[in-house]
A and B are shown apart, each in its own frame.
Chain A
């Protein structure tokens, strides 16, 4: 049971990073990224591939973040000037392209079989149990650091400018803001965080395959951010852990005697949908809604 909880908490941390990434792009600057899982996959594969040829794990993580940024730049390059819904369409397509490329370019990704035997840092020294605890600590620490940095951004003049772009980008330009720069930077940073989450996932599971990067993950992260509170970093973190805990808890439905396994699977989806609807009915702005900072002379 303790092993299982450690596993859930680690996966929760990885979802928290994805939620922080989405909250920056969508919740703060208003860029709808329906292809979050694509950036997650790019990070996972990038780190898996470079660590296989001898790059240390830390280097792999850095490469994964850079790969996320490069992917983000490619995706936003053509669409950032267009209306926002185009970005949503293009990112959605991007994630599928990543998955299909991973499925077909066997020389790079080993196709549907996936990449196995990805380096798991310090596993030999710490043993299985020790590694799990170490990795949980590592992921949690990274979540705290990323949350802290994004919260700082959120409260800074930069965050204020990002939110003005989210609310009305035309008016933000008349307020003297460089709208293109703000969108571009925020999206790139958000993609880097998704890439980081991907690398952490790969080195935890030691195995990645195209099956791990289904569009449903993006939906779960949207759910996490919406339930937690759009536009507030701690809300995203909280929402992510809550969604993972909820999804895992509903697994135990399988023990109910009067349901077939197929019905259980369907029940889980229904429950997840219902609970989101319930949260949005009772607390439309999420469990930890965005706050408006108070006026103060000393920032």
Chain B
């Protein structure tokens, strides 16, 4: 098997303070990889670099055999690498349905002339996307709030919509930044079930999460980051037994 996502020697500092000082790992296609580490380890910064929010100082990122280092976010999305955000973000005045539709790729109706002339290709694509949007909304049990503006959703529904949007983009791989943070235990279980289902359907997933029980249940392998570096990787049991990992989480013994 070849790696779908390759992260090599990534460093990045902000105003002289180093956030990442050498991140290296590979993610195989078809895995559900957990990315863990104490607060401030640089996990979200790494996601920002991989998804194109900003470029690394050094190092490179490859996706599906192609160098995507420093590419614009939409170029990376086009290749099938989609991300979600830790604090569910949205477009306040757009409805759930519009959010889903917006993430649908290859919509010729997003070009000025096609929109003015109501071209057939755009309308056909819109109908296809609408059907997908409805089925995703149903699967995530968002169908009863589909016409609501996102500002009128509960915290949990916002998290589900993050996942739904990512799915609309027809992703090959999804980067999920703490999809379960701040939601109630029932919904956590529900989101976990959605993630394993997506994984079974063939989508590669990389998950940042702090809930260790969930990581143990869902993820293999697990990559551990600490202080801006990759520390180790392996099965959950292996990394949990690693004294360096315990040290990173609990502090050094003196």
A115 at the interface (CB under 8 A from B): no
List the A side residues contacting B96 at CB < 8 Å: 295
Please count how many residues in chain A sit with their CB below 8 Å of the partner chain's CB atoms.
35
Q: In the complex, what distance in Å separates the CA atom of A295 from the CA atom of B78? A: 25
Q: Are B147 and A294 in contact (CB under 8 A)?
A: yes
Q: In the complex, what distance in Å separates the CA atom of A149 from the CA atom of B98? A: 21
From B74, B82, B98, B115, contact of A178 by CB (8 A): B74
List the A side residues contacting B112 at CB < 8 Å: 153, 158, 185, 189
Q: Are A157 and B53 in contact (CB under 8 A)?
A: no
Q: In the complex, what distance in Å separates the CA atom of A258 from the CA atom of B216? A: 83
B213 at the interface (CB under 8 A from A): no
Q: Are B107 and A163 in contact (CB under 8 A)?
A: no
From B51, B122, B131, contact of A174 by CB (8 A): B51
Consensus secondary structure, chain A interface: helix
Question: Which residues of B are at the interface with A, using a C-beta cutoff of 8 A?
Answer: 51-53, 72-74, 77-78, 82-83, 85, 89-98, 101-103, 105, 107, 109-112, 114-116, 118, 122-123, 126-127, 130-131, 133-134, 146-147, 149, 165, 169
List the A side residues contacting B51 at CB < 8 Å: 174
Asked if A292 meets B93 with Cβ closer than 8 Å, knowing A173-B73, A176-B169, A297-B127, the reply is: yes
Q: Are A297 and B94 in contact (CB under 8 A)?
A: no
A124 at the interface (CB under 8 A from B): no
Asked if A157 meets B73 with Cβ closer than 8 Å, knowing A163-B91, A163-B93, the reply is: no
Asked if A158 meets B115 with Cβ closer than 8 Å, knowing A297-B127, A298-B127, A299-B130, the reply is: yes
A163, A172, A298, A299: which has the most chain B beta carbons within 10 Å?
Answer: A299
Contact string against B for A residues 172-190, beta-carbon threshold 8 Å, 1 for contact and 0 otherwise = 1111111100000100010
A290 at the interface (CB under 8 A from B): yes
Q: In the complex, which residue of chain B has the Cβ closest to the Cβ of A180?
A: B72
Q: In the complex, what distance in Å separates the CA atom of A118 from the CA atom of B114? A: 37
Q: Are B53 and A171 in contact (CB under 8 A)?
A: no
List the A side residues contacting B114 at CB < 8 Å: 158
From A153, A159, A176, A231, contact of B74 by CB (8 A): A176
Q: In the complex, which residue of chain B has the Cβ closest to the Cβ of A186?
A: B112
A152 at the interface (CB under 8 A from B): yes
Q: Are A290 and B93 in contact (CB under 8 A)?
A: yes
List the A side residues contacting B127 at CB < 8 Å: 297-299
Q: In the complex, which residue of chain B has the Cβ closest to the Cβ of A296?
A: B130
Q: Are A167 and B97 in contact (CB under 8 A)?
A: no
A257 at the interface (CB under 8 A from B): no
List the B side residues contacting A42 at CB < 8 Å: none
From B52, B90, B149, contact of A292 by CB (8 A): B149
Q: How far is the CB of A29 from chain B (nearest CB, A)?
A: 12
A164 at the interface (CB under 8 A from B): yes
From B74, B109, B133, contact of A177 by CB (8 A): B74
List the B side residues contacting A299 at CB < 8 Å: 123, 126-127, 130
List the B side residues contacting A179 at CB < 8 Å: 74
Q: Are B107 and A295 in contact (CB under 8 A)?
A: no
Q: In the complex, what distance in Å separates the CA atom of A30 from the CA atom of B131? A: 30
Q: In the complex, what distance in Å separates the CA atom of A26 from the CA atom of B141? A: 35
Asked if A168 meets B89 with Cβ closer than 8 Å, knowing A176-B77, A176-B78, the reply is: yes
Q: In the complex, what distance in Å separates the CA atom of A294 from the CA atom of B149? A: 11
List the A side residues contacting B107 at CB < 8 Å: 157
Q: How far is the CB of B199 from chain A (nearest CB, A)?
A: 22
A161 at the interface (CB under 8 A from B): yes
Q: How far is the CB of B70 from chain A (nearest CB, A)?
A: 14
Contact string against B for A residues 242-268, beta-carbon threshold 8 Å, 1 for contact and 0 otherwise = 000000000000000000000000000
Task: Give 11 A-B pairs besides A152-B116, A164-B102, A297-B127 with Cβ atoms closer than 8 angstroms.
Answer: A167-B94, A171-B89, A171-B90, A173-B52, A174-B53, A176-B78, A176-B169, A177-B102, A185-B112, A297-B130, A297-B134
